[in-house]
Amino acid sequence: MKLTILGCHSATPRWDANPTSQVLEVKGHLFLIDCAEGTQVQLRRFKVKFSRVKHVFISHLHGDHFFGLVGLIATFRLLGRTADLHIYGPKGIKEAILLQLKLGKSYTNYGLYFHELESKTSQLIFEDDKVCVTTIPLDHRVYTNGFLFQEKIGERSLNIEKARELNIEMSYYHKIKQGADGITKDGKTVPNTLITFDPPAPKSYAYCSDTAYFPEIVPQITKATALYHETTFLDKDHHLAEKTKHSTAKEAAVIAKKAEVGTLILGHYSGRYNSLESFRSEAQEIFEPVQLAEDGKVFDI
């Protein structure tokens, strides 16, 4: 999994600080997660081949996560896109986008499909043979979902040396990788686990923004390879976090610790702080493996 941060700041777009958007590359997919104003410029700036984006996941309908979507859709049209585009987001998103396209007589010449969300419990919203995506209901001022991106367990890989040593019939190799036992040239059965390696452990990425401190999400995101959790405020301003239903760095770290995730990535910083390092140090008092999101930064998950 490769995560490219297009923007990781809260509230209003500034020249050097973009609101939320990120791209997750996993198993051949390029998933766009949130789409603030300016996202299409960031996609070009960081050289993401954004024609490959076929699925866009919108957490909630605040402008700093959503106002760039209509422009991206219009740009895809101008670029002559033909591939379908799927949008997953809160109920109302379809009306907002289609109204604007209608006013500009700018209907898309590619398939534009909306998958509107309104469930307050987790839902499976995308699945193919390699990846699935489920919603993580969050606690914010408006209806909001995080998203859990999970790789599926891959095929076992053949232990070719062992297979030769045991004289396994080659025509069985394909089925062995799918889990079948092997048959030797003289007709004996060999258990699959003797002639294959375990597939790599499937990875998972949990995206949680925006949300108040909400430990209800812990069971769902437990053991995630990486967790992106919003940290709009520092603990000294926790009253602002409570009032606006955002989280502090400390709270994000508590969630990460409870969920025993591999890495905690912080973002959605308020513009009131001079340095991002204070987010890191506050979180690391509770949970050590912390990384700071920055616009343009790429994480290998």
Catalytic residue numbers read 64
Closest approach of a second copy to the CB of residue 197, in Å? 45
Closest CB to a second copy among 66 and 279? 66
Closest CB to a second copy among 17 and 183? 17
What CA–CA distance (Å, rounded) separates 14 from 23? 20
Closest approach of a second copy to the CB of residue 106, in Å? 7
Closest approach of a second copy to the CB of residue 294, in Å? 17
Closest approach of a second copy to the CB of residue 152, in Å? 34
Closest CB to a second copy among 93 and 301? 93
Give me the residues that bind a second copy (CB under 8 A), please: 11-15, 37-38, 40-41, 44-45, 60-63, 66-68, 70-71, 74-75, 78-79, 90, 92-93, 95-96, 99-100, 103-106, 141-142
Closest approach of a second copy to the CB of residue 295, in Å? 12
Closest CB to a second copy among 37 and 282? 37
Closest CB to a second copy among 41 and 218? 41
